[in-house]
Amino acid sequence: MKHQEFWMRAASLIVAVGALGIYQANALQWQREEEANQLAVQRAQTHNAEAMQAASDTAGASYQDGVYTGSGEGFGGTVSVEVTVSGGKMTGITVTAASGEDTAYLNRAMQMIDSMLAAQSADVDTISGATFSSNGIKTAVQQALEGAKK
Amino acid sequence: MISLKKEQKPVSPKQRVTQRRRLRAGIQLIFFLLAPSVYTAAFSGIKEIATAIGMGEPLVFSAFTSALLAICIYTIVFGRFFCGYACAFGSLGDAVYALSQLIQRKIKHRLPQIPETAVRRMQKIKYVILIVIILLCAAGIYANLSGWSPWDVFSMVTALKSPGLSYILGMVLLGLIVVGMAVKERFFCQFLCPMGAVFALLPVIGRYTRNRDNCLMRCSACVKNCPVCVETDADNARMGECISCGKCSDICPKRNISYAGRISDGNAPLAVVVRAAILFAVCAVFELVRMI
């Protein structure tokens, strides 16, 4: 057969991609089940927490309202962020300057912002593969939150 | 007698080789300065996929996995041009080897050459490295190993950032790799590179092929000039090793090595520049080009 080598490789590639596809379908299924499970747990927790709502309202407001800035050392220079606090909660984090970071890596590291807002803390896992940019953002947010503490 | 001699003497390829070597070095320099992180981004894509599978999480289109996909598709279409002309680590290897060759010429002392059979055997090491790294990622161990990666050290050096003492193991490994690069051309790429292992397994459309029937008797200039010891015959199972550097096509006294079955002088400058421009555009689209 002509180009036998090529077709064998192409077939192996299709098998590999197919295997990843099957994995992906399963993984999405597991994720849906996991999410449904978490939702149920959350519902139960909210139910329990409702009784203590008043107390948690005051305790949750741990930061002072305002806009705070901070900076940290990234991959190729300083990363600066702006943290917005309103109603005692951290509501927004924007990266204002990161000239030394490669865009692809910075975008990857910016995924930490969602988890930081969810955790209301800078202390979240760094993005592997973009460790330096992640650490830059983390340090910058930590610094900003220092200024926001009551 | 004289006329016969004239007819058989091929065109001296010396000047052509020099010109094309300069073109290649120029393209490598541009990619080295403007897009040095493509290799690590694509490799992070592999690690990310392995880590996600290890944790049973669905795969996501991140900056790294999409860079991996783009570079793999480019390689399927155009061959491992990325390896030969654009990879920062490959360019480092070429620079180190060129310097080492210059010194060897100056001091009139040649380093011993690795025999071809050993080269072929050593080219399998990279698959072991790839599998080990994938398994370490899937087991969740890789993320906790810090300071060993020679790539981290290299990327810090290119960003003019000094790696701290915690990177001592990585620095030692990088040092050993640089020594290897001085001994054998493309030492890292063909023996150790885990991305090279991935590329070597891909089906490639844009490949170099020599027209064996048209070859000069016992010439084999192409193989002697090949950094990875590949004969570009149509049915050669080792073509995956070809890094599309085009040195075979440059040196061929009969310009007998074609590219993708269309371009008869496989490494013609225009064809090379077009391939480089397409690759650069791909890197730019995936935000892997750095502004200076």
Q: Which pLDDT tens digit goes with each residue over B231-286?
A: 999 888 899 999 999 999 999 888 899 998 888 888 889 999 999 999 999 999 98
| Min Cα–Cα distance to chain A from B102, Å | 33
Place A61 in a pLDDT band, splitting at 50, 70 and 90: low
| CA B267/CA B275 separation, integer angstroms | 10
Which candidate, B212, B215, B270, B208, places its Cα nearest to that of B10?
B215
Q: Which pLDDT value is given to residue B13?
A: 67
pLDDT: which is higher, B207 or B9: B207
Q: Residue B12 has what pLDDT? A: 63
Q: Which of chain B's residues have a Cβ under 8 Å away from the Cβ of A23?
A: 53, 59
B203 contacts A13? CB cut-off 8 A? yes
Would you state the pLDDT for residue A52?
Answer: 58
Q: What is the pLDDT of residue A49?
A: 74
The string of DSSP codes covering B14-72 is HHHHHHHHHHHHHHHHHHHHH-TTHHHHHHHHHHHHHHHHHHTPPP---HHHHHHHHHH
- pLDDT reading at B3 higher than 60: no
Q: How many CB pairs under 8 A join A and B?
A: 76
* Residue B60 in this model has a pLDDT that exceeds 80: yes
pLDDT score for B258:
93
**A96 φ/ψ angles, rounded to the nearest 5 degrees:** -95, -30
Per the CB < 8 A criterion, the answer to whether A141 and A81 are in contact is: yes
Q: Given this model, what pLDDT does residue B5 score? A: 47
The contact set of A with B (CB < 8 A) is 3-7, 9-10, 12-13, 20, 23-24, 27-28, 30-31, 75-76, 100, 102-105, 107-108, 128-130
Write down the pLDDT at residue A75.
84
Report the residue of A7, A9, A35, A131 to disrupt the B interface, i.e. the one with the largest count of B CBs within 10 Å. Answer: A9
pLDDT of residue B66: 92
Q: Over 50: is that where the pLDDT of A58 sits?
A: no
Residues A72 and A56: beta-carbon distance below 8 Å: no
CA distance to partner chain A, nearest, from residue B112 (Å):
34
B162 close contact with A: CB closer than 8 A: no
Q: Select from A9, A31, A129 the Cβ nearest to the Cβ of B47.
A: A129
The string of pLDDT tens digits covering residues B233-242 is: 988 889 999 9
DSSP codes joined into one string, B235-274: T-GGGGG-----HHHHH-TT--EEETTTBSSTT-HHHHHH
* pLDDT of A10 above 50: yes
CA–CA min distance A120, chain B (Å): 24
Distance from CA of B52 to the nearest CA of A (A): 9
| Cβ contacts of B41 on chain A, cutoff 8 Å | 104-105, 129
CA distance B152 to B214: 47
Q: From the CB of residue B45, how many other CB atoms can be counted at a distance below 10 Å?
A: 24
Is residue A109 pLDDT above 80, yes or no?
Answer: yes
| Highest mean pLDDT (candidates A24-28, A62-66, A85-89) | A24-28
Q: Do A104 and B63 touch (CB under 8 A)?
A: yes
Best of A2, A105, A126, A127 to disrupt the B interface (most B CBs within 10 Å) is A105
Return all residues near A134 (Cβ < 8 A) that are at least 6 apart: A109, A112, A126, A127
Q: Which residues of B touch A20 (CB under 8 A)?
A: 49, 59
Tens-digit pLDDT profile for residues B114-158: 999 999 999 999 999 999 999 999 998 888 887 888 888 888 887
- pLDDT given at position A29: 93
A63: which 2 tokens?
Answer: 């930061």
Contact A90, A145 (CB under 8 A): yes
Locate the domains of chain B by residue range. Answer: 14-145+184-285
Report the pLDDT value the prediction gives residue A1, as an integer from 0 to 100.
63
Q: Which residues of B touch A7 (CB under 8 A)?
A: 203
Q: What is the reported pLDDT for B148?
A: 84
Question: Taking CB atoms and an 8 Å limit, are B48 and A4 in contact across chains?
Answer: no
Question: Is residue A19 over pLDDT 90?
Answer: yes
List A68's β-bridge partners, or say none.
A83
User: Residue B11: pLDDT above 70?
Assistant: no
Cβ neighbours of B287 in A, within 8 Å: 102-104, 107
Interchain pair B159, A75: CB under 8 A: yes
Query: In this complex, is the C-beta atom of B56 within 8 Å of any C-beta atom belonging to chain A?
Result: yes
pLDDT higher at A109 or B91:
B91
What average pLDDT is seen over chain B? Answer: 89
Of residues A130 and B92, the one with the higher pLDDT is B92
How far apart are the C-alpha atoms of B173 and B175, rounded to whole Å?
A: 5
A-chain residues within 8 Å CB-CB of B235? 4-5
Residue B2 has pLDDT above 50, yes or no: no
- Give Cβ neighbours of residue B35 (< 8 Å, ≥ 6 apart): B86, B88, B280, B283, B288, B289, B290
Q: Three-state secondary structure along chain A?
A: CCCHHHHHHHHHHHHHHHHHHHHHHHHHHHHHHHHHHHHHHHHHHHHHHHHHHHHHHHHHCCECCEEEEEEEECCCCEEEEEEEEECCEEEEEEEEECCCCCHHHHHHHCHHHHHHHHHCCCCCCCCCCCHHHHHHHHHHHHHHHHHHEC
Q: At what angle do helices B38-55 and A4-49 cross, to 10 degrees?
A: 60
Region of residue B208 (phi > 0: left; psi between -120 and 50: alpha; otherwise: beta): beta
Residue B107: predicted pLDDT: 93
Task: Tell whether the model's pLDDT for residue B8 goes beyond 50.
Answer: no
> How far from B28 is each of B31, B82, B127, B144, B280, CA to CA, in Å?
5, 10, 26, 33, 11
Mean pLDDT of A8-35: 93
**DSSP class of residue B82?**
I
**Distance (Å) from the C-alpha of residue A135 to the closest C-alpha of chain B?**
14
Q: Model confidence over B163-176: pLDDT tens digits?
A: 778 888 899 999 99
Instruction: Tell me the whole-structure pTM to 2 decimals.
Output: 0.79
The pLDDT value recorded for residue B200 is: 95
Inform me whether the pLDDT recorded for B43 exceeds 90: yes
For residue B1, what pLDDT band results from cuts at 50, 70 and 90? very low
Alpha-carbon distance of A57 to A109, in angstroms, equals 31
- Contacts of residues A108-114 at CB distance under 8 Å and 24 or more positions apart, as own/partner, are A108/A133, A108/B62, A108/B63, A108/B64, A109/A133, A109/A134, A109/A136, A109/A137, A110/A137, A112/A137, A112/A138, A113/A137
B220: phi > 0 → left, psi -120 to 50 → alpha, else beta; which?
Answer: left
CB atoms A108 and B63 under 8 Å: yes
Residues in B 73-132 with any Cβ partner in A closer than 8 A: none
- pLDDT at residue number A16: 94
Q: How confident is the model at residue A114 (pLDDT cuts 50, 70, 90)?
A: confident
